[in-house]
């Protein structure tokens, strides 16, 4: 009988969708329709077209970086990208956007972030310290939710998947007007299997860069534009 109960419990655990773990923090999924489409539903589609990103806003004085290598050299945690400064990214496939990279370490984790005009990407890695002071990644945790303080005495919670969070008008406005408190800036992140949102410090210069990255954000020109061509049966 005990073995039978254990098997039932195991089956129930297996049936829980990974995305449901993001709801341990309690919020409803933010955004409706195509305004802030999560990436998970598109996995059930066979063919999707995504329009290349283009910048209609002018950003004088912002350096342009052309991606001409793959993830081994120019990944999210690459040392090639300057941190905490606005940067125009020219991607050979997805197009051109502007964003800012941020990175945070402690002895066991590294959080690498890209706050882009059209989407945010966050990667949390477990790391080990080398004998000579270097760091090596030992694993990656999927970031499922983020929370960002607004200038209205509340915080905005966004559920995404695989560490990807599309930007909409409210999120862009929240980032552009982020209130720095007592000289420090934070967001909260929740990764797959964690017990809730955990605080993560963001560089003050990154916060300043948000004002450039998200200025005059427009839903028509700056949203990720996806179209499903063939649905799965």
Residue matched to tokens 């007007």: 177
Encode pLDDT of 185-221 as tens digits: 899 998 876 667 888 999 999 999 999 999 999 999 9
Positive or negative torsion for Cα 53, 156, 39, 77: positive
Mean pLDDT of successive 10-residue stretches along the chain, which has 233 residues? 44 35 31 40 67 92 89 76 92 93 82 93 81 68 88 88 88 92 84 78 94 94 79 62
Residue 108, SS3? coil
Strand pairing category for 64-66 and 87-91: parallel
Residue matched to tokens 């982020």 = 178
For 84-99, how does the pLDDT look when each residue is reduced to its tens digit (9 = 90+)? 999 999 999 999 999 9
- C-alpha 149/C-alpha 187 separation (Å) is 7
Report residue 102 CA to chain centroid gap. Answer: 11
């Amino acid at each position: 009988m005990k073995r039978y109960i254990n098997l039932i419990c195991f089956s129930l655990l297996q049936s829980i969708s990974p995305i449901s773990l993001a709801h341990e923090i309690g919020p409803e999924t933010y955004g409706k329709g195509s305004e802030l489409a999560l990436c998970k539903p598109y996995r059930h589609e066979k063919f999707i077209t995504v329009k290349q990103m283009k910048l209609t806003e002018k950003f004088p004085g912002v350096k342009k970086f052309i991606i001409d290598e793959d993830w081994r050299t120019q990944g999210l945690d690459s040392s090639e990208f300057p941190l905490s400064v606005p940067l125009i990214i020219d991607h050979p496939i997805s197009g051109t956007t502007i964003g800012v990279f941020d990175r945070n370490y402690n002895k066991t984790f590294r959080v690498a972030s890209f706050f882009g005009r059209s989407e945010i990407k966050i990667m949390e890695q477990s790391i080990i310290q080398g004998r000579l002071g270097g760091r090596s990644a030992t694993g990656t945790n999927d970031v499922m939710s983020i929370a960002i303080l607004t200038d209205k005495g509340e915080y905005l919670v966004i559920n995404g998947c695989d560490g990807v969070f599309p930007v909409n008008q409210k999120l862009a406005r929240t980032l552009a007007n982020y209130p720095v408190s007592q000289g420090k800036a934070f967001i909260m992140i929740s990764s797959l299997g964690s017990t809730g949102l955990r605080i993560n410090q963001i560089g003050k210069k990154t916060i300043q860069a948000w004002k450039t990255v998200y200025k005059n954000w427009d839903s028509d020109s700056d949203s990720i534009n996806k179209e499903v061509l063939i649905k799965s049966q």
